[in-house]
Amino acid sequence: MIPFDRRTGKIWYDGALVEWAGATLHVLSHGLHYASSIFEGIRVYGGEPFMLTEHIARLRSSAHLLDFDLPYDDEVLHAATLDVVRVAGITEGYLRMNAWRGSEVIQTAALKTSVHTSVAAWELPAGYYAATDALEKGISLVTGRYARPSPRYAPVKSKAAGNYMTGTVSKNEALRAGFDDAVLLDDHGNFAEATGAHLFFTKDGALHTPTTRCTIDGITRACVLALADREGIACTVGDLAPAFAAAADGAFICGTACEILPVARIDDHHYDLTGNEVVRKLIAGYRDLVEGRRVVGVPTVWAR
Protein backbone atom coordinates (compact mmCIF):
# COMPACT_ATOMS: atom_id res chain seq x y z
CA MET A 1 0.00 0.00 0.00
CA ILE A 2 1.28 3.47 -0.89
CA PRO A 3 2.04 5.51 2.26
CA PHE A 4 -0.55 8.21 2.71
CA ASP A 5 1.95 11.07 2.59
CA ARG A 6 3.17 9.93 -0.84
CA ARG A 7 -0.18 9.81 -2.62
CA THR A 8 -1.44 12.26 -5.20
CA GLY A 9 -4.71 14.05 -5.70
CA LYS A 10 -6.57 16.83 -3.91
CA ILE A 11 -7.43 17.34 -0.25
CA TRP A 12 -9.84 19.98 1.03
CA TYR A 13 -7.84 21.97 3.58
CA ASP A 14 -9.14 25.04 5.41
CA GLY A 15 -11.58 26.05 2.71
CA ALA A 16 -9.83 25.10 -0.53
CA LEU A 17 -8.72 22.09 -2.53
CA VAL A 18 -4.93 21.76 -2.33
CA GLU A 19 -2.41 19.29 -3.70
CA TRP A 20 -2.18 16.12 -1.61
CA ALA A 21 1.49 16.69 -0.73
CA GLY A 22 0.74 20.25 0.39
CA ALA A 23 -1.87 19.28 3.01
CA THR A 24 0.55 19.47 5.92
CA LEU A 25 0.61 20.87 9.44
CA HIS A 26 3.46 22.16 11.58
CA VAL A 27 5.16 19.78 14.00
CA LEU A 28 4.33 22.22 16.81
CA SER A 29 0.59 22.07 16.26
CA HIS A 30 -1.40 21.78 19.47
CA GLY A 31 -3.40 18.87 18.03
CA LEU A 32 -0.22 16.80 17.68
CA HIS A 33 1.10 17.51 21.17
CA TYR A 34 -2.08 17.57 23.26
CA ALA A 35 -4.50 15.41 21.23
CA SER A 36 -6.84 18.34 20.54
CA SER A 37 -7.81 16.59 17.32
CA ILE A 38 -11.01 14.91 16.14
CA PHE A 39 -12.01 12.96 13.05
CA GLU A 40 -14.73 11.11 11.17
CA GLY A 41 -14.44 8.15 8.84
CA ILE A 42 -17.10 8.05 6.12
CA ARG A 43 -17.69 5.37 3.50
CA VAL A 44 -18.48 6.18 -0.13
CA TYR A 45 -20.87 3.84 -1.96
CA GLY A 46 -21.74 4.37 -5.60
CA GLY A 47 -20.06 7.78 -5.47
CA GLU A 48 -22.18 8.98 -2.53
CA PRO A 49 -20.91 9.53 1.03
CA PHE A 50 -23.03 7.37 3.34
CA MET A 51 -24.73 9.07 6.32
CA LEU A 52 -22.77 12.26 5.63
CA THR A 53 -25.15 14.52 7.57
CA GLU A 54 -24.83 12.32 10.66
CA HIS A 55 -21.05 12.19 10.42
CA ILE A 56 -20.76 15.97 10.17
CA ALA A 57 -23.10 16.36 13.14
CA ARG A 58 -20.96 14.00 15.20
CA LEU A 59 -17.79 15.84 14.16
CA ARG A 60 -19.30 19.08 15.42
CA SER A 61 -20.37 17.40 18.66
CA SER A 62 -16.85 15.99 19.09
CA ALA A 63 -15.38 19.47 18.68
CA HIS A 64 -17.67 20.91 21.32
CA LEU A 65 -16.69 18.15 23.73
CA LEU A 66 -13.03 19.12 23.23
CA ASP A 67 -13.95 22.76 23.82
CA PHE A 68 -13.59 24.19 20.34
CA ASP A 69 -15.85 25.07 17.42
CA LEU A 70 -15.52 24.07 13.80
CA PRO A 71 -14.69 27.12 11.64
CA TYR A 72 -17.10 26.01 8.87
CA ASP A 73 -20.82 25.38 8.96
CA ASP A 74 -22.41 22.07 8.04
CA GLU A 75 -23.33 23.17 4.52
CA VAL A 76 -19.73 24.10 3.72
CA LEU A 77 -18.41 20.79 5.06
CA HIS A 78 -21.08 18.90 3.14
CA ALA A 79 -20.21 20.64 -0.14
CA ALA A 80 -16.48 20.22 0.50
CA THR A 81 -16.91 16.48 0.98
CA LEU A 82 -18.84 16.13 -2.26
CA ASP A 83 -16.13 18.13 -4.06
CA VAL A 84 -13.40 15.84 -2.74
CA VAL A 85 -15.28 12.73 -3.90
CA ARG A 86 -15.99 14.29 -7.31
CA VAL A 87 -12.42 15.40 -7.93
CA ALA A 88 -11.05 12.04 -6.81
CA GLY A 89 -13.50 10.18 -9.05
CA ILE A 90 -14.21 7.72 -6.27
CA THR A 91 -17.17 5.35 -6.46
CA GLU A 92 -16.30 2.93 -3.64
CA GLY A 93 -14.01 4.42 -1.06
CA TYR A 94 -13.36 6.07 2.25
CA LEU A 95 -13.34 9.65 3.49
CA ARG A 96 -11.44 11.04 6.44
CA MET A 97 -12.55 14.35 7.92
CA ASN A 98 -10.32 15.98 10.54
CA ALA A 99 -10.29 19.09 12.73
CA TRP A 100 -7.50 20.13 15.09
CA ARG A 101 -6.06 23.03 17.04
CA GLY A 102 -3.22 24.97 15.45
CA SER A 103 0.28 26.05 16.46
CA GLU A 104 -0.26 29.40 18.20
CA VAL A 105 0.66 27.95 21.61
CA ILE A 106 2.26 24.77 22.90
CA GLN A 107 0.86 24.42 26.38
CA THR A 108 -2.12 22.66 27.88
CA ALA A 109 -4.46 25.65 27.70
CA ALA A 110 -5.44 26.50 24.14
CA LEU A 111 -8.15 29.14 24.30
CA LYS A 112 -6.70 31.27 21.51
CA THR A 113 -5.56 28.68 19.01
CA SER A 114 -6.85 28.49 15.47
CA VAL A 115 -8.83 25.45 14.32
CA HIS A 116 -8.03 23.70 11.06
CA THR A 117 -10.18 21.31 9.04
CA SER A 118 -9.50 18.84 6.24
CA VAL A 119 -11.31 16.27 4.11
CA ALA A 120 -9.45 13.54 2.18
CA ALA A 121 -10.67 10.52 0.22
CA TRP A 122 -9.21 7.37 -1.25
CA GLU A 123 -10.29 4.10 -2.83
CA LEU A 124 -10.58 1.19 -0.41
CA PRO A 125 -8.50 -1.80 -1.49
CA ALA A 126 -9.72 -5.32 -0.77
CA GLY A 127 -8.70 -6.46 2.69
CA TYR A 128 -8.23 -2.91 3.99
CA TYR A 129 -9.82 -3.62 7.37
CA ALA A 130 -9.85 -7.43 7.52
CA ALA A 131 -8.99 -10.41 5.36
CA THR A 132 -10.99 -10.69 2.16
CA ASP A 133 -12.62 -13.91 3.42
CA ALA A 134 -13.61 -12.44 6.80
CA LEU A 135 -17.31 -12.46 5.94
CA GLU A 136 -17.17 -16.22 5.44
CA LYS A 137 -14.61 -17.23 8.07
CA GLY A 138 -15.19 -14.52 10.67
CA ILE A 139 -12.59 -12.70 12.71
CA SER A 140 -10.95 -13.48 16.05
CA LEU A 141 -10.91 -11.19 19.08
CA VAL A 142 -8.83 -11.26 22.25
CA THR A 143 -9.57 -9.27 25.39
CA GLY A 144 -7.21 -6.31 25.55
CA ARG A 145 -5.29 -5.33 28.64
CA TYR A 146 -6.58 -1.75 28.66
CA ALA A 147 -10.13 -0.74 29.55
CA ARG A 148 -12.13 2.09 28.06
CA PRO A 149 -12.12 4.99 30.53
CA SER A 150 -15.13 6.05 32.53
CA PRO A 151 -17.04 9.09 31.21
CA ARG A 152 -15.99 10.71 34.49
CA TYR A 153 -12.35 10.61 33.41
CA ALA A 154 -12.36 11.47 29.70
CA PRO A 155 -14.58 12.97 26.97
CA VAL A 156 -15.46 9.48 25.74
CA LYS A 157 -18.30 10.68 23.50
CA SER A 158 -15.88 12.66 21.33
CA LYS A 159 -14.39 10.88 18.33
CA ALA A 160 -11.08 12.32 19.43
CA ALA A 161 -7.68 11.07 18.33
CA GLY A 162 -6.57 10.69 21.94
CA ASN A 163 -9.38 8.26 22.68
CA TYR A 164 -7.88 5.78 20.21
CA MET A 165 -4.43 5.33 21.72
CA THR A 166 -5.61 2.34 23.78
CA GLY A 167 -7.16 0.87 20.66
CA THR A 168 -3.90 1.16 18.72
CA VAL A 169 -1.85 -0.52 21.45
CA SER A 170 -4.49 -3.21 22.02
CA LYS A 171 -4.88 -4.07 18.33
CA ASN A 172 -1.12 -4.20 17.85
CA GLU A 173 -0.88 -6.67 20.71
CA ALA A 174 -3.81 -8.69 19.35
CA LEU A 175 -2.18 -8.98 15.92
CA ARG A 176 1.10 -10.10 17.45
CA ALA A 177 -0.79 -12.77 19.38
CA GLY A 178 -2.40 -14.12 16.21
CA PHE A 179 -5.82 -12.48 16.59
CA ASP A 180 -7.49 -10.02 14.24
CA ASP A 181 -8.51 -7.43 16.81
CA ALA A 182 -9.00 -6.81 20.51
CA VAL A 183 -12.19 -6.40 22.48
CA LEU A 184 -12.02 -3.85 25.29
CA LEU A 185 -13.82 -3.88 28.60
CA ASP A 186 -15.24 -0.81 30.33
CA ASP A 187 -14.32 0.60 33.72
CA HIS A 188 -16.75 -1.84 35.40
CA GLY A 189 -15.23 -4.88 33.70
CA ASN A 190 -18.03 -5.36 31.16
CA PHE A 191 -17.69 -5.52 27.39
CA ALA A 192 -17.35 -2.07 25.79
CA GLU A 193 -16.35 -2.47 22.12
CA ALA A 194 -13.59 -3.58 19.79
CA THR A 195 -10.72 -1.18 19.12
CA GLY A 196 -12.57 0.66 16.37
CA ALA A 197 -15.98 -0.98 16.12
CA HIS A 198 -19.03 -1.80 18.22
CA LEU A 199 -19.75 -5.30 19.48
CA PHE A 200 -22.96 -7.33 19.17
CA PHE A 201 -23.86 -10.84 20.31
CA THR A 202 -26.63 -13.14 19.16
CA LYS A 203 -28.45 -15.55 21.44
CA ASP A 204 -31.59 -17.57 20.65
CA GLY A 205 -32.50 -15.33 17.71
CA ALA A 206 -32.07 -12.04 19.59
CA LEU A 207 -29.36 -9.38 19.73
CA HIS A 208 -27.43 -8.20 22.76
CA THR A 209 -25.03 -5.26 22.73
CA PRO A 210 -23.15 -3.24 25.36
CA THR A 211 -24.22 0.28 26.26
CA THR A 212 -22.23 3.20 24.86
CA ARG A 213 -21.59 4.67 28.29
CA CYS A 214 -17.83 4.60 27.74
CA THR A 215 -17.73 4.89 23.95
CA ILE A 216 -18.84 7.09 21.10
CA ASP A 217 -22.37 6.64 19.79
CA GLY A 218 -21.78 4.64 16.64
CA ILE A 219 -23.53 5.57 13.41
CA THR A 220 -23.23 2.04 12.03
CA ARG A 221 -24.40 0.70 15.39
CA ALA A 222 -27.49 2.90 15.10
CA CYS A 223 -28.09 1.51 11.61
CA VAL A 224 -27.85 -2.06 12.92
CA LEU A 225 -30.35 -1.31 15.69
CA ALA A 226 -32.73 0.24 13.16
CA LEU A 227 -32.36 -2.73 10.82
CA ALA A 228 -32.98 -5.16 13.67
CA ASP A 229 -36.13 -3.28 14.59
CA ARG A 230 -37.29 -3.41 10.97
CA GLU A 231 -36.66 -7.17 10.85
CA GLY A 232 -38.42 -7.78 14.17
CA ILE A 233 -35.20 -8.91 15.85
CA ALA A 234 -35.31 -8.18 19.56
CA CYS A 235 -32.28 -6.33 20.94
CA THR A 236 -31.21 -5.83 24.54
CA VAL A 237 -28.80 -2.98 25.28
CA GLY A 238 -27.12 -3.32 28.65
CA ASP A 239 -24.08 -4.37 30.64
CA LEU A 240 -22.54 -7.59 29.32
CA ALA A 241 -19.99 -9.35 31.48
CA PRO A 242 -17.17 -11.26 29.73
CA ALA A 243 -18.91 -14.52 30.66
CA PHE A 244 -21.66 -13.61 28.18
CA ALA A 245 -19.32 -14.53 25.32
CA ALA A 246 -19.71 -18.19 26.27
CA ALA A 247 -23.49 -17.91 26.70
CA ALA A 248 -23.99 -16.33 23.25
CA ASP A 249 -24.31 -18.37 20.07
CA GLY A 250 -22.74 -15.75 17.81
CA ALA A 251 -21.15 -12.32 17.63
CA PHE A 252 -20.20 -9.58 15.18
CA ILE A 253 -18.59 -6.18 15.13
CA CYS A 254 -19.81 -3.18 13.16
CA GLY A 255 -18.41 0.16 12.13
CA THR A 256 -18.00 2.46 9.16
CA ALA A 257 -14.77 0.87 7.96
CA CYS A 258 -15.55 -2.79 8.72
CA GLU A 259 -19.32 -2.61 8.04
CA ILE A 260 -20.62 -5.82 9.69
CA LEU A 261 -18.09 -8.60 10.30
CA PRO A 262 -18.98 -11.91 11.99
CA VAL A 263 -16.81 -13.00 14.89
CA ALA A 264 -15.59 -16.60 14.93
CA ARG A 265 -13.67 -16.44 18.20
CA ILE A 266 -13.41 -14.39 21.39
CA ASP A 267 -10.45 -15.50 23.49
CA ASP A 268 -10.93 -19.29 23.84
CA HIS A 269 -14.62 -19.34 22.87
CA HIS A 270 -15.49 -20.25 19.28
CA TYR A 271 -18.70 -19.60 17.32
CA ASP A 272 -20.18 -21.67 14.52
CA LEU A 273 -20.91 -19.16 11.77
CA THR A 274 -23.12 -21.51 9.76
CA GLY A 275 -26.83 -21.09 10.25
CA ASN A 276 -26.72 -17.81 12.19
CA GLU A 277 -29.81 -16.30 10.61
CA VAL A 278 -29.64 -13.07 12.62
CA VAL A 279 -26.15 -12.16 11.43
CA ARG A 280 -27.01 -13.17 7.86
CA LYS A 281 -30.11 -10.95 7.81
CA LEU A 282 -28.26 -7.96 9.21
CA ILE A 283 -25.35 -8.25 6.78
CA ALA A 284 -27.79 -8.45 3.85
CA GLY A 285 -29.91 -5.61 5.24
CA TYR A 286 -26.90 -3.37 5.73
CA ARG A 287 -25.77 -4.00 2.16
CA ASP A 288 -29.24 -3.02 0.95
CA LEU A 289 -29.04 0.11 3.08
CA VAL A 290 -25.67 1.36 1.86
CA GLU A 291 -26.55 0.61 -1.75
CA GLY A 292 -29.80 2.55 -1.52
CA ARG A 293 -32.26 -0.33 -1.73
CA ARG A 294 -33.51 0.24 1.81
CA VAL A 295 -34.10 3.26 4.03
CA VAL A 296 -34.17 3.25 7.83
CA GLY A 297 -34.47 6.10 10.28
CA VAL A 298 -31.42 6.65 12.48
CA PRO A 299 -31.65 8.91 15.56
CA THR A 300 -29.50 12.04 15.35
CA VAL A 301 -28.10 11.86 18.86
CA TRP A 302 -25.06 13.89 17.77
CA ALA A 303 -26.98 17.11 17.09
CA ARG A 304 -25.92 19.95 19.39
**149, 187 contact by CB (below 8 A):** yes
Q: Choose the catalytic residue: 137, 159, 171, 281.
A: 159
* Largest interatomic CA distance in the chain: 58
Which has the closest alpha carbon to 100: 23, 158, 160? 160
Q: Are 195 and 170 within 8 A, CB to CB? A: yes
Q: Angle CA(76)–CA(81)–CA(86) in degrees, nearest 5?
A: 125
Distance from the first to the final alpha carbon of the chain: 38
DSSP secondary structure letters along 207-252:
EEE--STTS---HHHHHHHHHHHHHT--EEES---TTHHHH-SEEE
Give yes or no for a contact between 248 and 203, defined as CB atoms under 8 angstroms apart. yes
| Pairing mode, strands 16-19 and 10-13 | antiparallel
159 an active-site residue? yes
The answer to whether 124 and 93 have CB atoms below 8 angstroms apart is: yes
d(CA 1, CA 226): 35
The residues that are catalytic are 159
